[in-house]
Structure 1
Amino acid sequence: MDKVNIMQLTGKVILITGAGGGLGGTAALALAKQGAQVILLDKIITKLESVYDKIVAAGAPEPIMYPFDLAGANENDYQELADRIEAKYGSLDGLLHSAVEFSAFEPLVLHKTKDWGHSLNVNLNAPFILCKVLLPVMQKSDSAAIVFTSDSKARTGQAYSASYGVSKIALEGLAKILAEELESEGKIRVNTLIPGPIDSPFRKKAYPAEDKSLLPAMSSLNEIYTYLFSADSIGLTGRIIDAQTFKQQPTN
């Protein structure tokens, strides 16, 4: 079991999308073990319950489960989420965009319009709306962090990446714009994480023939998740951070 250092994130409130499994669930457990009060957001309740149980079993602060459909929710639903967080905690210290929608690698001409819209809703529109409604709550924190999740291959405009690739390219642009808009205040840092090839459910779906035993476990990202939401990363903003070269990343 990982050694718990409750000093790094004690008292911090962090919202995680896609928290029902994969990288979102991994991040939730890692951050909770560091003392954070995590809000688990996902549309599948059984998955939320599984992550909830793991966090409680680890002796970490009891998390909050918030069932939420990023694609089906309207702006009032998003605002209600923000209002509830503000009413319960007063502020929000972290926001991790980990939810992802991926249908398949295929030519754009074969990509279904429905899949295109659904992917953009989850991967791009939802992060935008969440940032929009949660920024006023995050600005009440002494120091807050927003972390987007991208993909090293899709972000280059790789053939056949379809709406998934388009959404990741746009997401990095959104993160950069937001980082520059918030930089002068110095209270909210915004960065983009590139997890790299990881033995995750998404990777299994996207690359089914790949030998996953050769890939790092999802828990290998625990250190970087903790870093990005802890005081150690204060001052680091507007960066695209590759998890594979994380230890060489500058901190100023």
Structure 2
Amino acid sequence: MPLSHQVILITGAGGGLGATAALTLAKRGAHVILLDNKIPKLEAVYDKIVEAGAPEPILYPFDLAGASENDFQELANRIDEKYGSLQGVLHSAVEFSGFTPISLLGTKEWGHALNVNLNGPFLLCRVLLPVLQKSPHASIVFISDSSARNAPAYSGAYGVSKFAVEGLAKILAEEVESTGKIRVNIMVPGPVDSPLRKKAYPGVDNSKLPSMESLAPVYLYLFGPQSIGVNGQVIDARTFHL
């Protein structure tokens, strides 16, 4: 159980990749904090983790798009009070409504996507950095996208936010490097058979793609001791090997 003393917060924990990561890390002994705004999905992930005999997770219903700065700070305070430190954050929450030309992109859609995909991760990092600093080693992982990071046409607010979140990750990685405690990396899952992929490409047989469970070794590496000292890197699951 190499992660038995790790406390890891996962956003979008009710979604496909977030839920997969939560179950993967919990099975290795991590105490996971499941954060999502969809309570039934959170409860389903909770049940799977408990059924697997892993440490009981914490459910934390939270709306990244609608939460205030005080809500973010309260989350950090609760983690600090309960655990005293934090060893990992996985930014897996994502908002994607569909492919849209910039000329037709509504202000509400634009703002919502950026709040979930960019502003939420920024605010979380800001309030959680002091708690992460209390751990000898901590890992922050941002999930990017193999297609959006090339800024293709019609990727809209989703594409812009993924481009921007990689910049946020790179800047943060340089800022925390001198402490030697926190590492910040970007994970690119590549095309996998996930709910997001099915929503984006409904006419494609996505079942032929790698499963979400195939990403397990990457999650375990990024939050495990083998990645200590690895900072500011883009880890592509398609080419990943230990």
Check whether TM > 0.5: yes
Distance between the aligned counterparts of 1:169 and 1:86, measured in 2?
Answer: 31
Normalising by structure 2, we get a TM-score of 0.99
- Aligned equivalent of 2:188: 194
C-alpha distance in structure 2 between counterparts of 1:213 and 1:87, whole Å: 43
Task: Tell me what 1:94 maps to.
Answer: 88
TM-score (norm 1): 0.95
Q: Please name the residue that 1:240 is paired with.
A: 234
1:186-225 to 2 correspondences below 5 Å: 186-225=180-219
* 1:75-224 → structure 2 map (5 Å cutoff): 75-224=69-218
Aligned counterpart, 2:40: 46
Query: Aligned partners of 2:213, 2:15: CA distance in 1, in Å?
Result: 12
Corresponding residue number in structure 1 for 2:223 = 229
* Identical residues among aligned pairs (%): 70
State the secondary structure of the residue aligned to 2:184: strand
SS of the equivalent of 1:102 reads coil
Q: Deviations over 1:38-73 (max 9, x none)?
A: 000000110000000000000000000000000000
Root-mean-square deviation over aligned CA pairs: 0.7
Structure 1: gaps spanning 5 or more residues: 1-5
Query: Which residue, 31, 36, 54 being the options, matches 1:37?
Result: 31
Match of 1:3 in 2: none
The DSSP-based 3-state class of the residue aligned with 1:82 is helix
Partners of 1:207 and 1:171 lie apart in 2 by 23
On the 8 A contact 1:21/1:51 being kept in 2, the answer is no
SS across alignment from 1:137: helix
* CA displacement at 1:113 relative to structure 2: 1.1
Give the C-alpha shift of residue 111 in structure 1: 1.0
TM-fit CA distance, 1:21: 2.3
**1:148-195 CA distances to partner (integer Å, 9 max, x unpaired)?**
000111111110000000000000000000000011111000000000
Give distance in 2, aligned partners of 1:78 and 1:189: 21
Q: Which residue of 1 aligns with 2:7?
A: 13
Report the alpha carbon displacement of residue 11 of structure 1 after superposing the two structures with TM.
1.0
Which structure 2 residue ranges, 5 or more long, are not aligned?
none
Deviations 1:76-103 (A, max 9, x none): 0000000000000000000000000001
Distance 1:220 1:206 in 2: 20
Paired residues in the alignment total 242
